[in-house]
Structure 1
Amino acid sequence: MGLFGPSKNDVWKQFADEIGGEFLEGSIFKPSMVQVAFRGWNITLDTYTVSHGKSSTTYTRIRAPFVSTQGFHFKIYKKGLFSDLGKMLGMQDIITGNEDFDENYIIKGNNEELVKGLFSSVEIRTLIEEQPKMTLEIKDSEGFFKKTPEGVDLLHFQEVGVIKDIERLKRLFMMFSIVISELVDIGAATYEDPKVDYLS
């Protein structure tokens, strides 16, 4: 244990043990990570750092590649100071029909029916509302150097900082497993192995 409590690696090792996942020790060039198998999907927890010249920002992220059936994409994040400005600049804000949820979150997507189907789940909405600040989305790649194969998309969560609260991590992984199941139920994904191994 360091001056500021348990290290990330210590916490993540314990987390992996408690949920039946695998902790993978990092190196100079690759951060430590936790991987958990769920119905053919591989859910990966790790961190990454973005440099801003003399400073940098570290993010916690959770990712799961999957076989997409409809090319469904969405992005959800909590409303903030500039949310209304974003709408004025053309951002699409899909209304789920749940007044309290719609009041607090911005949801963008390319299929309004699937967005409403996904966020009709009380469990998903509750798990999202538990998080102080986060972005959850489906994207088709992580940039030019990390393209996913044709027909494979990525369920992706990120938050500024390093999450070392085991109970929060458990709830986030629960959110991922429920979102995965719901994506299959609404016909947007399958449990087929996407055969993507670049996360390991």
Structure 2
Amino acid sequence: MDTKKVISGQTETEIWDQIEADLLSDPSLLQYQAEINQSGTTIYLDIDVDLGGGFEGGFELTSFTAPLLKDTAFRFALHHEEFLDEVGKFFGMEDLITGYREFDSKVVVKTNDLSKIIQLFDDVELRTVIQSLDVFRFYIVSESNKLKLVLEIEEAITDHLRLKEIYKVFHTVLKKITF
């Protein structure tokens, strides 16, 4: 799909009925882009699959991105803990402890406000979804003096139920940061 779809709805059900129909209409989907407008927020969904060729390996990526409409000094970066993170921690790499045992064992946390991270992820369902992701980055970034919330997952997620579950987490974190 070469064009970005604009999907609007007052409820999550209205939005996901449209996305589900799109995803089910093309089972061999290689690219999908949507601007999702819900409850005064705009979230960009991008699913991209590059099959590679020859000696190229290809890649898969699903990302959610949203502008932060409120300026904040709060920053964080989360990613799935891997073997190299254990080595990095031995040499002093930052990995803050939230107190959520399973989350802390599976996710590397970097932030300038640990108490805010603890509040953001106080919901066990949010933590469960995030810690279930294999290779991901979830962070706030400043580009051209504008803040964005970004979740990148190195997998093409086309299962609409799983994608909706991840969207709910992203939307919830976005609302907690901006409102």
Cα deviation, residue 43, structure 1: 0.8
2:32 alignment counterpart: 32
Q: Distance in 2 between matches of 1:123 and 1:89?
A: 32
Residues 169-192 of structure 1, C-alpha deviations (whole Å, 9 max, x = no match): 111111111112222xxxxx24xx
Structure having greater relative contact order (Cα 8 Å, sep ≥ 6): 1
Cα deviation, residue 68, structure 1: 3.7
Q: Distance in 2 between matches of 1:138 and 1:132?
A: 20
1:131 alignment counterpart: 133
Structure having the higher helix fraction is 2
* 2:174 counterpart SS class: helix
Residues 142-176 of structure 1, C-alpha deviations (whole Å, 9 max, x = no match): xxxxx3xx3x3111111223211111111111111
User: What does 1:80-99 correspond to in 2, within 5 Å?
Assistant: 80-99=82-101
Q: Which runs of 5+ in 2 are unaligned?
A: 8-12, 23-30
Instruction: Identify the match of residue 173 of structure 1 among 141, 147, 167.
Output: 167
Deviating 4+ runs (over 6 angstroms): none
Q: Which runs of 5+ in 1 are unaligned?
A: 1-6, 24-30, 142-146, 184-188, 191-200
CA RMSD of aligned residues (A): 3.1
The answer to whether 1:162 aligns with 2:164 is: no
TM-score normalized with structure 1 length: 0.65
What amino acid maps onto 1:19 in structure 2? Answer: W
Identity %: 24
TM-score normalized with structure 2 length: 0.72
1:71 alignment counterpart: 73
| Number of equivalent positions | 157
